[in-house]
Amino acid sequence: MELNKYKVGEGYINGTVSILVAKLKLIINNVDSKTIPTSGDGLLKYYANDKILNPTDIAYMVGMDSLSAEIVRRKVILNNWTEDDLTINPMTTLNAYLSGTAPVGSTVRYSIDGVSKTLGTATDGTYKWAGGVQLAGTVMGVELREGAVYNVKKEIVVQALSGSPSTPTNFKVEGLTDVSAKLKWDAVAGATGYRIYQNGYNTVWKTVTTNSYDLTGTSGTSWTYRVAAYNATGEGLRTQEVTVTYL
């Protein structure tokens, strides 16, 4: 008996079998499954979609004679998940859902900017997570789990809507002292104003209509900032972080 590799959710275990084998049964994690007759043509086909549910399952195919005596036993080699098994649908700042496809029965984990949010099972080969509308530039991730390890990961970046302003350039810190500093960036054509984000948070810290902002602080403390331009269409992508460390 020879078995093809099997991937969870694939449907059938396929292979070849001797004509001496009259019956087949699948043993998964030491538990017997239904016994079925062979087709008699030397081909092996056993439905396992509702039986092998995890890439870490231990499975054996057993061939028996007409009296149910075991003739041959082979281990079912399970393929691991790959990036081809996982898709993520594109997102813009209008989408409230992270969605895509994953193997049937697989466990998926979602993340926003690298922070894990929840777990779920792709029972029908798809997943959909209502994470709410995300800011442009937010990194959305999905991972597939094998046993206790998430070894397949894909990410997408939430895109700004067409017509929203471009990312501010030349974002920098000027006039740094022990208690004050100025954030400054180049003005963006078509922008109504600018939103400033502090310390990695995705909630707006300050909104301004000019391309600078005066800061006050305490000597020795550090803060990080990003800025994004917005207009009536929406918000554009945020800048990279700059760090302000008061002298």
CA gap 241, 184 in Å, rounded: 13
pTM attached to this predicted model: 0.65
What mean pLDDT, rounded, does the chain reach?
Answer: 92
Q: Which residues pair with 232 in a beta bridge?
A: none
Residue 104 exposure: Cα atoms within 13 Å on the Cβ side: 12
The CATH number of residue 131's host domain is: 2.60.40.10
Same domain for 197 and 134, yes or no, is no
**pLDDT at 150 > cutoff 90:** no
Asked if 111 and 137 touch (Cβ cutoff 8 Å), the reply is no
Same domain for 70 and 91, yes or no, is no
166 falls within a domain = no
* Closest-CA residue to 27 (of 13, 39, 41): 13
Last residue within a domain, chosen from 27, 46, 75: 75
Q: How many domains are contained in the chain? A: 3
* Closest-CA residue to 184 (of 135, 124, 129, 225): 225
Range of the domain at 131: 83-157
At 151 the pLDDT is 81
Same domain for 94 and 149, yes or no, is yes
CA gap 22, 39 in Å, rounded: 8
Last residue within a domain, chosen from 54, 75, 96: 75
Last residue within a domain, chosen from 45, 75, 105: 75
pLDDT in tens, 13-64: 999 999 899 999 999 999 999 999 999 899 999 999 889 888 778 999 999 9
**pLDDT at 148 > cutoff 70:** no
At 244 the pLDDT is 98
Burial code of 155-181, b = ≥16 C-beta within 10 A, e = fewer? Answer: ebebbbeeebbebbeebeeeeeeeeeb
162 falls within a domain = no
Asked if 127 and 143 touch (Cβ cutoff 8 Å), the reply is no
Same domain for 184 and 203, yes or no, is yes
100 falls within a domain = yes
Same domain for 111 and 71, yes or no, is no
165 falls within a domain = no
Q: What percent of the chain has pLDDT over 70?
A: 99
59 falls within a domain = yes
13 falls within a domain = yes
At 149 the pLDDT is 74
38 falls within a domain = yes
pLDDT in tens, 88-144: 999 999 999 999 999 877 789 999 988 998 888 888 889 999 988 999 999 999 998
Which residue in this structure is represented by tokens 């998940």? 81
Instruction: Indicate the pLDDT class of residue 11, thresholds 50, 70 and 90.
Output: confident
Same domain for 7 and 23, yes or no, is yes
70 falls within a domain = yes
